[in-house]
Structure 1
């Protein structure tokens, strides 16, 4: 025992070391380890002897303590002495076995011979295999327990289906699905049994969903017909609902009940969260085939409701609608009363609100009613209010101010009806569409007026009739036109149209603007600005539509281009008068002005006039080209061509009225062509003068233009002919015409008087050379002309 004195702890370390390093040569390699699984250094003999010595010391100390105890407890020792001897023998036997195992462990040959390593390793392998099988068996037991719970739930489902308990059956499906999604381990989750049970749950869910569809179909019966204004609708609700046979085979001895009650179906639909889906056809039918015809044909609508006061004893209820011309309730009150009755039917007979019965707890069922009211009833109510706004209220928006004042009773009825829907829970304060409509009736009124105004205005603008009227005839009854100081002088001469003509359509548009503004003055500050904006929209429509719809006409007919010019200027002039016409300001607006519209109208007029002027200018230049540069005008054919050219200028100018630049351009071109002539005979000069005199017919277009020039020039105005202001080259053209027929002496008299100052010296010299033969007198006069013009005489 002394040679192999090892503690049990060190002995275990030796065994562990050998198991971890079976190929190590030293049997004491792991004695220094501290019980961990780390690789340890081999133990030396000194360390081993130190351990033995320490063990002996511990034994001696223990013996001393034992002796001490024995002396103190001699009587107890004597009583257990025999038992101690027996224990001693057993301990000695155990120590001998330990010595034997120690020697075998420390001897490599003995280790291999006795097979202790193989025994330990085999035991460990067996232990591992047994542990795995135990874990596997535990997993199988958990899986079987899991599948057993699922199977119990599915059996309960079948039992509920047999008993017709649709709601409980649905709960079973939900519970089974939840169990299958919470498998105890991955093996159970991926097993074929789980897959099979999941598929079975899916089929059962489809079966109960199909049964709910059939139950809803068996409980709701709808017929409808909608042809023009003749409508019929009938909804019958059966409270004792026939349960269809199950389509999926199952075990169980029970039989499906023949019927279930309506409230049971409602409860199943709401608690399974499929009420909105299953009752959507009912919702659509009530909106489309009951409420919409009731609102559209309310004057001929007859609504009938058949119900029982006792749900328990009732077998069902019904509601029907038919249109009978002349037999409907008619009127606003009748319409809203019928719609209110529809919602009372929905609340009481479909949602079962307010029923108290032994068959179900009314308080418990109230939550289902709230769900139906919120998700289904609210949609129906919002659609109904939208249809009332669209198909009824919007159609009776007043067309005049007096009707607008009488609209208050209709507004009151509509808001009271909406209040009842709110009190029943079908709407919230945020859903008050009818209240918003009636509170903004002035806006709807002005919108209608705007639409009507634009519709009529569009018809006027697109009309191909361009009948005209004299502006002076329009102004004779206009106090503002009679007294210019009443609204201020017009600064833009283009808007002075006293002797011009405008189209009837421009007068119609102006009248529409003025009447609309006057009506705006009788509204509140909420609606009046909208009517003002409507007049602006009318003018914008004129500016946008006229150049597009009448583009070809305005391009090809110069007279209509000028008429369009006059129309734009006339409308602009009348808009400038608006502030003076408005005796009282429009509510909600400080100023009623068209400061941005007026310039746009004038710009549009000048744009199209410019287009036509350029076109006619080109045509006039081509016409003047046909005169052949006024060469040989003494010849009859050439004279006719030149005269025809000048008449064309007059014709175009008369068509374009105020296209003064056109006349000025034509005159400049004639002057230029005449100045190019190098040899003009006496006969030819008279012919040329006659040709030029054709253009004098244009002077009558300026007969009324004097006041315009006076306003522009102010104190500088000296009663000059207005044509000289608008056609700067006219005076030169007149003098040129005279020069063609004057004698040489008369020409020089005018030159010396400064009356020919508009001609350059070279221009005048060329004319003299073309008109008169080369003589000493011509040479003398040319020298005088070349010295420059004298100071022109002041115009008297």
Structure 2
């Protein structure tokens, strides 16, 4: 072995011996330090007797031990590598012991650091350095969370609990600082905000509140409560009420106070804008603090803006700017003043950071004045049209071309037959036609908007009028007839407008193919439906009256009861009342067709039971003839031309033939049947006529012969 190798080997042996001696000593030192640190922690955080100097001494000891362990570990590992072939078991055990000692030391070192930071926290809290306190607490929570599990679990848990208590206490203290320095009050119609001049303490408290908060809008702080107070008691009243706002200041506080003067009235837009600027100025001067460091990107006013900016935009637009939209062309020309003032307000909101730099909701709204103007005018048109629709229906006027019964074909398509309509329909049509004429002269956008508005007005007519006049339309026949005529007259005029105005509207609207077609269909449908429902109601009444007439039970009694004639007369009287009301209201054709349907219902109620009787005595036959004569004599008078009754009453001829059969002989009946070619054959089926003959005449050879001649 060379001299150099001997020297190196000798040095390594000395190094190994040194490790073997020092490892047990280090283990004893660590155990001693652990005991001291546990005792210290228990004294400070369990028994509440503080020893900050002792902790500092222990921290220094722990750091020195850490350095010594690191040196020994390094030497031991080098020695292990060189002695590996010699399998130095003792040295390997020492290395493992050093790793265990180092683990325990790391735990003790972090606990000592925690104790040191707690001492610093107390000092900073006394100095009201709330941001630094929050930073220390945040660091402590992370350090304690990162300490690996050790036999000192109980002591570590005590430290975590202690730090949690300090964190909660800090949160309460900074909230109290905010509450003491920012005082909000509301009493009756007065609201105020008083802000302390001690801005450094307030700023520290706010920074601490928001330190390490990733989602500031969800942070439940006093500032969130302040936002709600500011919104409900300042911004909303400024826009919605007439208010006074004033600012006062002294050495201790700055004050802004709002008093609601008239709760049910609004200030004009200029006053609203001025009051908002006054409030913004106060907030910028006395409540503009950073909430984050070091960039100061988030401030109190930006925080408020994040919370309320969308609602504030909507409030100003819907409750203020919307009221500034003019109703006249002259007002539209002068609207640039409002646009300029709106732009100034939006700049003030951006400067205060309540609005972001790229937000332009107010000026965008104001710059759309042309569209807003026509929208407002169209809304006003709809309101005015509804007021017209709500006028009485019975105030009527005659319109249309007279019906010529001698030349009915001359009353062709395109003509509106003479009838009565409500005067308010003329007013409504004139109103809408004037608007339509204006649209021809306007821009494409305006023309399209006005056309849609007119369409909506007439669609609304079919909904609003039946609803508003609901009770009258169900009970008063004149009102029903007028509404029917109104709908058809409006539809007639809309068809005319399709040919008169639509081709003059801008071609870009692409409406020439449809125009008012949908409205025409809807008007006719609703007008017919309501009128027909009323007519069905009249027929239902006739059916109910005749059901109580006892006519169906007459054959059993052998004679008519007085109630039967009374019921028939009641039905005729009901139709005569309809004639009185409808004769001059409905057009010639509609009037006669409608009365024909109602009278035909009565005729059917007479004919149907009689032709089913199995036995009709001579006396009963005479009574039935007299009963039918009531209808035959009074029925024709219901119509404009009594000679046309058979045109409108489909069972009129059958009623006449029934009347003939009831009073005729077998020979007369046979002659009138005329082998199925006579008048009787046109109205009665063979079975019906045979049933009548069997009921009227006794069973004789002559009756049998007549019955034999009546074949299908």
Given the two structures, how large is their TM-score scaled by the length of structure 1? 0.60
Q: Which residue of 1 aligns with 2:195?
A: 237
Q: Which residue of 1 aligns with 2:137?
A: 173
CA displacement at 1:170 relative to structure 2: 1.9
CA displacement at 1:166 relative to structure 2: 2.0
Q: How do 1:434-583 residues align onto structure 2 when only pairs under 5 Å count?
A: 434-441=362-369, 468-470=394-396, 473=398, 489=414, 498-499=418-419, 524-526=443-445, 529=448, 532-534=451-453, 543=462, 565-566=484-485, 568-570=487-489, 572-579=491-498, 582=501
Q: Aligned partners of 1:447 and 1:136: how far apart in 2?
A: 82
Q: Which residue of 1 aligns with 2:568?
A: 645
Q: 1:413 aligns with which of 307, 330, 341?
A: 341
Q: For 2:245, what is the secondary structure of its paired residue?
A: strand
Q: Aligned partners of 1:612 and 1:515: how far apart in 2?
A: 35
Q: 2:256 aligns with which of 292, 303, 319?
A: 319
Q: Aligned partners of 2:627 and 2:188: how far apart in 1?
A: 83
Could you tell me which runs of 5 or more consecutive residues in structure 2 were left unpaired when the two chains were aligned: 7-86, 403-408, 583-590
Q: 2:111 aligns with which of 139, 147, 157?
A: 147
Q: Which residue of 2 aligns with 1:200?
A: 162
Q: Which residue of 1 aligns with 2:604?
A: 668
Q: 1:212 aligns with which of 163, 174, 184?
A: 174
Q: How do 1:12-161 residues align onto structure 2 when only pairs under 5 Å count?
A: 133-161=97-125
1:727 aligns with 2:649: yes
Q: Aligned partners of 1:319 and 1:337: how far apart in 2?
A: 14
Q: For 1:489, what is the secondary structure of its paired residue?
A: coil
Q: Which residue of 1 aligns with 2:274?
A: 337
Q: Which residue of 1 aligns with 2:316?
A: 388
Q: Aligned partners of 1:486 and 1:424: how far apart in 2?
A: 75
Pick closer, same or farther for the CA change 1:632–1:365 going to 2, 3 Å: closer
Moved more, 336-345 or 377-386: 377-386
CA displacement at 1:520 relative to structure 2: 6.0
CA contact (8 A) 2:378 2:450 kept: yes
Q: Aligned partners of 2:610 and 2:93: how far apart in 1?
A: 130
Q: Aligned partners of 2:698 and 2:467: how far apart in 1?
A: 59
Q: For 1:303, what is the secondary structure of its paired residue?
A: strand
Q: Which residue of 2 aligns with 1:289?
A: 233
Q: For 1:758, what is the secondary structure of its paired residue?
A: helix
Q: Aligned partners of 2:643 and 2:630: how far apart in 1?
A: 17
Pick closer, same or farther for the CA change 1:686–1:435 going to 2, 3 Å: same
Pick closer, same or farther for the CA change 1:404–1:687 going to 2, 3 Å: farther
CA displacement at 1:392 relative to structure 2: 1.7
Q: How do 1:711-790 residues align onto structure 2 when only pairs under 5 Å count?
A: 723-734=645-656, 736-737=658-659, 758-760=682-684, 762=686, 786=710
CA contact (8 A) 1:306 1:317 kept: yes
Pick closer, same or farther for the CA change 1:558–1:467 going to 2, 3 Å: closer
Q: Deviations over 1:355-379 (max 9, x none)?
A: xxxxxxxxx9893265444332343
Number of paired residues?
597
Pick closer, same or farther for the CA change 1:366–1:408 going to 2, 3 Å: farther
Q: Which residue of 1 aligns with 2:511?
A: 590
1:304 aligns with 2:246: yes
CA contact (8 A) 2:436 2:450 kept: yes
Q: Aligned partners of 1:140 and 1:543: how far apart in 2?
A: 89
CA displacement at 1:694 relative to structure 2: 2.5
1:379 aligns with 2:307: yes
Moved more, 726-735 or 140-149: 726-735
Larger RCO, structures 1/2 (Cα 8 Å, 6+ apart): 2
CA displacement at 1:408 relative to structure 2: 4.4
CA displacement at 1:648 relative to structure 2: 0.6
Q: Which residue of 1 aligns with 2:25?
A: none
CA contact (8 A) 1:750 1:756 kept: yes
Pick closer, same or farther for the CA change 1:335–1:556 going to 2, 3 Å: closer
Q: Which residue of 2 aligns with 1:38?
A: none
Q: For 2:239, what is the secondary structure of its paired residue?
A: helix
CA contact (8 A) 2:559 2:623 kept: no
Q: Aligned partners of 1:487 and 1:392: how far apart in 2?
A: 56
Could you tell me which runs of 5 or more consecutive residues in structure 1 were left unpaired when the two chains were aligned: 1-65, 67-75, 84-122, 242-259, 309-313, 354-363, 478-483, 491-495, 705-719, 789-796
Q: Aligned partners of 1:416 and 1:487: how far apart in 2?
A: 65
CA contact (8 A) 2:459 2:522 kept: no
Q: Aligned partners of 1:348 and 1:487: how far apart in 2?
A: 81
Q: Aligned partners of 1:393 and 1:524: how far apart in 2?
A: 24
Q: Aligned partners of 1:399 and 1:633: how far apart in 2?
A: 78
CA contact (8 A) 2:141 2:163 kept: yes
CA displacement at 1:171 relative to structure 2: 1.7
Q: For 1:368, what is the secondary structure of its paired residue?
A: coil
CA displacement at 1:150 relative to structure 2: 1.7
Q: For 2:682, what is the secondary structure of its paired residue?
A: coil
Q: Deviations over 1:482-524 (max 9, x none)?
A: xx9999626xxxxx6734x566777777677667656766765
Q: Aligned partners of 1:510 and 1:146: how far apart in 2?
A: 90
Q: 1:628 aligns with which of 532, 535, 551?
A: 551
CA displacement at 1:168 relative to structure 2: 1.9
